[in-house]
Chains A and B, each alone.
Chain A
Amino acid sequence: MSRLLSRYAEAIYWMARYIERAENLARILDVNETFSRDSRGWQNWQSILQLYRDEERFSELHEEADADRVLYFYTLDQSNPTSIISVVNAARANARTLRPLISTEMWIQLNIFSNTIRRLKREELTEPRLARFCNSVKEACQTHTGITEGTFYRDEGWFFYQIGRCIERADQTTRLLDVKYHLLLPKEESVGSPFDVSQWNAVLRSAAGYHAFRRVYPSGLNQNAVGSFLLFHSQFPRSVRACVREIDTRLTELRSRYRLKGGSKALEELDELCAALDETNMDEVVSRGLHEFIDWIQVRLIRAHAELGTAFFGYPSMPASDAAD
């Protein structure tokens, strides 16, 4: 019988999600700054607000979505719960709760990471210095992942860590694709234009997928190829399919190894998602509408999350109706 406290399971799961989120946010800010700067001016920064569906919240605080304001909003603004500083602080707070469970090295690294960000001042984070900051965040997140791989005892907690990380990663990848396809949908004439290609380039690089993509598609770069790669390619670690498979495998293993009664409903959601990702091809997705497909994936992920919560974290039971669809 498992002795892992529900509260701990939830905290581990979220710690992994927060770190994954911080890393993705750093990637997106960095790439946006580097690859799309000259094309549309402020609109590029607007696109990040769209990506995270933060336009409304942002406009309540700021009149204008210029580089300085958007950057601050997503990096050091502690009043924004989705800024890097807030997400890293949240990860640290969870790590503090989890101190009895995680390795001392995991804790020390996260503590130093969050202290370092907290010391930064707004003046130190202007556009020219953004790349360096984003790199340091990425690196700290990857260091965390590495330390975790090498030191975290692999009991039930470790499974929740993996599941949290992969759910977040899958979600982040869908958002990245969605913003390009749906919100930045180019006008007919600009498809295949240098600007269009550079945006696809940025999307791939945000997901650290450019080089892997090139190995699979040595020439050309178009939306179907990129979309297919990020959604379905089973060997690319940030593709939605690879992430969902990983969650499915880990959850199955967790349940059987520790003979857990709960979690079957979450598994049902994931199985359905796995099947859809295995059987669908890009042409079908485009004809059904990519945004709709992505929306469907996100809803499944949210439902899987909620079912995990009910089964293991002590969340109240899900309503029986399919209101979330």
Chain B
Amino acid sequence: MGNTGAAASGPLVAYDPAGFFCEMLGSQDRPAEHTQGIRKLLGALDLGDLRGRARDAELELYSFGITFTVYTQKDAIDRILPFDVIPRVISAEDWKVIETGVTQRVTALNLFLWDIYHDQKILNDGVVPRELVEGNPNFCPAMKDVDVTKGTYVHINGTDLVRGDDGRFVVLEDNARCPSGVSYVVENRHLMQRSFPDLMANIGIRPVSNYGQKLHDALVDVAPEGIPSPQVVLLSPGTYNSAYFEHIFLAREMGVPLVEGSDLVVENDRVYMKSIDGLHPVHVIYRRIGDDFLDPEAFNPDSVLGAKGLMAAYKKGNVTLANAIGTGVADDKAVYAYMPRIIRYYLDEEAILSNVDTHICREPEGLAYTLDNLANLVVKPVGEAGGYGITVGPRASQAELEKCRADVLADPANYIAQPMINLSVCPTLTDEGVGARHVDLRPFAVTGRSTWVLPGGLSRVALTEGSIIVNSSQGGGSKDTWVLE
């Protein structure tokens, strides 16, 4: 790797990206010049030092209650992403593309949602199949003609990006419901600042610590009109939820109460929280529970996580929910395939960030192509989250391929297929030294009056060698993500 300027000493000496595009070294065609300074500083450490500091970071996470040792694993309710100490670094030029691309995408998503819940022009014009939207389990008929403040449905969005062999970022998936992970972006940075202050010296890394204030500003922006200082709260399912740590983080950073459904009460279509001095009005709810659980009166009658009457208050415009109800239809894997057309339709622009080529099995040509090329494709069910139900063609056995074929044939509309992408790698500390592990990136966009993208993002890393599934439930970890100035 001589021409990419690999370190002459230090932990990266024996590092080999195995032919993949590397976040630290780049590729033959695109060497990563922006990481030169960091590589030099990394080179000054030895592997033992790196491991020592990684252990300190682990201990800190343990004391913090983020991770648990084996002793208490059985009652660990905060099992969380392992942390890798080698940062993932993004150049200012690459970031510009991500930032404008994500903003464009979120803008289109919001316009799309307004449209499908109002005039449905895009359906009437036949750009997106009506059945795909109205027949979607995440389409919420109760949202028809509900006017959300500032036209914003998706206040918090997470866009999953990956980088292929050519080094271009492409969109793998949109997360427009309750995208999680932003707390790791900020906490990982704090952890790095404590463990590796020397590595960050004079690099020029854009800060991520103001996320909470930006989010609070945006939520105040979208409060019901005419409230001088709106009360924002964060609604959590409670302490046993696996993302509770993040809920705490967000509430603390915004300086707002973290409430549970039982703390809320709706009277005369207005929402209140139960305080020590009686009922206190609530105007904006950043809710971290799914649509179905928000209001037992309007949705799932068995839910104890929400508040009875919330939907009525929402429809009257007395309270803002972030994200809005019914956004799940927009981040569906099937609708995803139409995103380039959706962007063109509303903004008259080409998508700045491309989709991965997607074959829609509900369409005959897509189905035929998928069945003919099963062994070369990644087949995904459209309804599943968390990396479940995915068949990676090139790595599947004959039996797995046959099962996949049968599943797709039984319910074509439930599947999409994409070419296998050689996810980029990042040097990662492993038991065997520093090895190449695949990563993705989830930037977070916050939208009130306008959209702001946090300069950073969650870099998830598949800790198992060769694996391309980065989800925490399947052995994923995370890295600090540095966007350079």
Q: Which residues of A come within 8 Å of B, CB atoms?
A: 1-9, 93, 96-97, 99-100, 104, 107-108, 111-112, 115, 118-119, 156, 258-262, 311-314
Contacts and interface: CB of A to CB of B under 8 A. Distances in A.
B72 A93 contact: no
Contacts, number: 74
- By secondary structure, the B interface counts as mixed
Contacts of B276: 2, 4-6, 9, 156, 260, 262, 311-313
A262 B280 CA distance: 15
Interface in B249-282: 251-252, 257-260, 262-263, 273-278, 280
B111 interface: no
A261 B251 contact: no
Interface stretch (B7-15, B31-39, B63-71, B374-382): B63-71
A7 B65 contact: no
30 contacts: A1-B280, A2-B275, A2-B277, A2-B280, A3-B231, A3-B257, A4-B275, A5-B274, A5-B275, A6-B274, A6-B276, A7-B262, A7-B263, A9-B276, A96-B244, A97-B239, A100-B251, A100-B258, A104-B64, A108-B65, A111-B63, A112-B63, A115-B69, A115-B72, A259-B277, A260-B276, A260-B277, A262-B277, A313-B276, A314-B274
A248 B263 CA distance: 28
Q: What band does the interface of chain B fall in when counting residues whose beta carbon is under 8 Å from A?
A: 20 to 34
A99 B252 contact: yes
Contacts of A314: 274
A8 B260 CA distance: 11
A191 to B, nearest CB: 49
A261 B259 CA distance: 23
A118 B65 CA distance: 14
Given A99-B248, A100-B258, A115-B72, A5 B273 contact: yes
Nearest to A308: B276
Nearest to B231: A3
Q: What 5 A-B pairs have minimum CB-CB distances, sorted nearest first?
A: A99-B248, A100-B251, A2-B277, A312-B276, A111-B65
B63 A100 contact: no
A96 B240 CA distance: 10
A100 B248 contact: yes
Contacts of B263: 5-7
Nearest to B274: A6
A96 B275 contact: no
Given A111-B64, A260-B276, 6 more contacts: A2-B276, A5-B257, A107-B64, A115-B71, A311-B276, A314-B274
Interface string B65-91: 100010110000000000000000000
Nearest to B236: A100
A118 B251 contact: no
B27 to A, nearest CB: 42
Contacts of A4: 275-276
A7 B239 CA distance: 13
A96 B65 contact: yes
A138 to B, nearest CB: 21
A100 B257 contact: yes
A115 B259 CA distance: 27
A118 B72 contact: yes
Contacts of A260: 276-277
A312 B277 CA distance: 7
Nearest to B248: A99
Nearest to A119: B71
